[in-house]
Structure 1
Amino acid sequence: MVSGGGSGHLPLFGGYVGHGLIDTCAIGKVFEGPALHACLEATRPADGGAGILQLIGN
């Protein structure tokens, strides 16, 4: 599972990475969603062969 979002007042998405939580996180600039290359970089290590769920907020 991959999540991500902008780094505004509350860059909370990185806090959900860990055992039993999400696998990786894509972070964007302040008040911007993550760029395409950031989403791809976060997706590759999460790919265990069973599929990937991406939850990207903006």
Structure 2
Amino acid sequence: MRSKHKGPAFMDNMFKKFLKVTIACSLITTGVLVAGTVFVVKKIDQSGDKMQKKKGLYQG
């Protein structure tokens, strides 16, 4: 009977693939979160500028 164990080389290769996928997903998620945060901050800043213009306090 043959053993189902593929050996340490197979496990090492699988671990490297898993690590690459995990790192890629982390980078994508981080990029989306940073881009979303920048977008929201810009919108809040624009809203604040509009409110200041209405009150006559805008200096920019």
TM-score scaled by length of structure 2: 0.27
Larger Rg computed on CA atoms: 2
* Larger helix fraction of residues: 2
